[in-house]
Amino acid sequence: MDGVVQGRALVVGGGIAGLLAARVLAEGHLEVQVLDRDDLEGRDASDPRRGVPQGRHIHALLPRGRRILEELFPGLTRELVDAGAPCGDLLGDARLHLGGHRLARADAGLTTVSVSRPLLEARVRARVAELPNVTFGSPADVLGLVTTPDGQRVRGVRILRRADDSAEEILDAAMVIDAMGRGSRTPRWLEQLGYEQPPEDRIAGDLGYATRHYRLEPEVLGGDWGTLQAPTPQLPRGGALARIEHDRWIVTLFGMLGDHPPTDPAGFAAFARSLAFPDVHRAMQSGEPLDAPVAYRFPASVRRRYERLRRFPDGLLPIGDAVCSLNPIYGQGMTVAALQALALRDHVRRVGTAEPRRWLRRAARTVDAPWDMVVGGDLAFPEVAGPRTAKVRLLGAYMARLHATASHDPRLAVSFARVMALVDRPPSLLEPATGARVLRGSRRASARDNDPPPAHSDVDAGECAPHEEVRR
């Protein structure tokens, strides 16, 4: 890293966003310390952290995010596979049901690792801990920011360690990274310092989850590693089933608009039986439950518009869910954090300081496309409040037809999967050739429709070799 920032960077939050921020900042002249309320060292890779309440539920590291993690931590994909995580193609080895349709099967060239959040976070944390200029602080609560007398620059944080007889401490820093997630206290701290809180965009889908783990036969999905059924306006319920490490399967059921899955075993099973497609319920019937269902609620997607503030203190950079937390049904949160980590690395290289105004604008651009996709998907539900411009309505109708056509058009299914995986940008779905396929939408596929999708290079398929039972 060519920047001139020196001293200590404090990363507040030890989740994926914080770990990736520590990784890229460690390339420069900074000493990096990661702070969290949880004890981050020596944790069991199968133990969900209390500070990550969603960690017990199904997660998706989309192919773009996997690529970025592989760039930052070479060999991580193989490491996860060797730890037992299944590996396969997002579209060719899994079943995606979107808009009430199952997307056509095709090899999209989108290598995906099906891994639990605790294992992924543990492996990333171990790799970060190997860096010579990164340390993990003992468990502590961050109480607030410390600034210069004029309040123009953040120069550290106040903490209280989670140990008996602890006293408040001040940790000095050249840079503070807010990776505290959707519960970030930065808006309140800014107000205490005499700044405005950032305006927020909020789309309230009132999503509820429930998750249970099972022991199932490897071939329960015919060799596929997972299936996803997204809610629709006609049936605001969905579910996902995925094989993860230790020969376990994870079932997460979800419902929008307050239609949340029960956590009693009978209610959980009945909710699964009510889904539009039978894959998840059939699998559950054939398996052995390993635990009781656990609930999680996600009231709204929230985007904090820091880039619109006229004043912001130097030395403070928010990242990840602290900037934008997305409806987790779309599985984009960890990948967006990875994209922001690359942007942070480039920001410090180019700017050479923690100058936040440029960072806030850049962070906003990083989340623009995912936010638009998630908001557009949620606003397809008439009961979800939000601005429905003519553009939103037209794109909603277009995406509904695209999903229907992609159920029998493998080329179109691959095009959509690449956008869903954040590999291609959404405007690619509006290109003339793609639009023609969508608008034609005939179930009597032409000879061209039956052509195999174009091959896309993602990663050496040998990274999935330890799991030959996954169909290639």
Specify the amino acid at residue 80.
Answer: L
pLDDT grade for 311, boundaries at 50, 70 and 90: very high
- For the whole prediction, is pTM greater than 0.75? yes
- 139: in domain: yes
pLDDT grade for 441, boundaries at 50, 70 and 90: confident
Contact by Cβ (8 Å): 288, 199: no
Task: Looking at 113-166, list the stretches that DSSP marks H as alpha helix, in order from N- to C-terminal side.
Answer: 117-129
Q: What is the pLDDT of residue 27?
A: 93
Q: What is the pLDDT of residue 156?
A: 96
pLDDT grade for 342, boundaries at 50, 70 and 90: very high
Give me the phi and psi of 156, to 5 degrees please: 160, -170
- 296: in domain: no
Q: Which residue is it, tokens 């060719």? A: 92
Residue 24 contacts by C-beta under 8 Å, 6 or more apart in sequence?
A: 1, 72, 341, 342, 344, 345, 348
Q: Per the structure, how many domains does the chain have?
A: 1
Comparison of pLDDT for 141 and 453, the residue scoring more: 141
Residue 444 has pLDDT above 90, yes or no: no
Q: What is the pLDDT of residue 40?
A: 85
Q: What is the pLDDT of residue 467?
A: 39
User: Residue 165 class from Cβ within 10 Å (0-12 exposed, 13-18 middle, 19+ buried)?
Assistant: exposed
Q: What is the pLDDT of residue 443?
A: 46
Comparison of pLDDT for 259 and 1, the residue scoring more: 259
Cα-Cα end-to-end distance for the chain = 39
Q: Residues 151-169: what's their mean pLDDT?
A: 93
- 435: in domain: no
Helix (H) or strand (E) holding 16: helix 16-25
Q: Residues 291-299: what's their mean pLDDT?
A: 95
- 153: in domain: yes
Residue pLDDT, tens place only, 163-200:
888 899 999 999 999 999 999 999 999 999 999 999 99
Residue 239, Cβ neighbours under 10 Å: how many?
29
pLDDT grade for 439, boundaries at 50, 70 and 90: confident
Residue 6 has pLDDT above 80, yes or no: no
% of the chain surpassing 70 pLDDT: 91
- 263: in domain: no
pLDDT grade for 84, boundaries at 50, 70 and 90: very high
Q: What is the pLDDT of residue 463?
A: 65
User: Per mean pLDDT, which range of 27-31, 352-356, 395-399 is the poorest?
Assistant: 352-356
Whole-angstrom CA distances from 36 to 10, 18, 138, 318, 375 are 11, 10, 8, 15, 30
CA angle (121 as vertex; 85, 220 as ends), nearest 5: 25
For residue 317, what are the domain limits?
A: 6-59+121-200+304-368
Residue 321 has pLDDT above 90, yes or no: yes
Give the mean pLDDT of the chain: 90
Contact by Cβ (8 Å): 64, 337: no
Q: What is the pLDDT of residue 459?
A: 47
- 191: in domain: yes
Structure tokens at 411: 């080329």
- 352: in domain: yes
Strand ranges (E), 137-272 = 140-147, 154-161, 169-172, 175-178, 200-203, 207-215, 226-229, 237-244, 248-255
Give me the phi and psi of 19, to 5 degrees please: -65, -40
Contact by Cβ (8 Å): 55, 219: no
Q: Residues 447-457: what's their mean pLDDT?
A: 52
- 235: in domain: no
User: Domain with 346 in it: what CATH number?
Assistant: 3.50.50.60
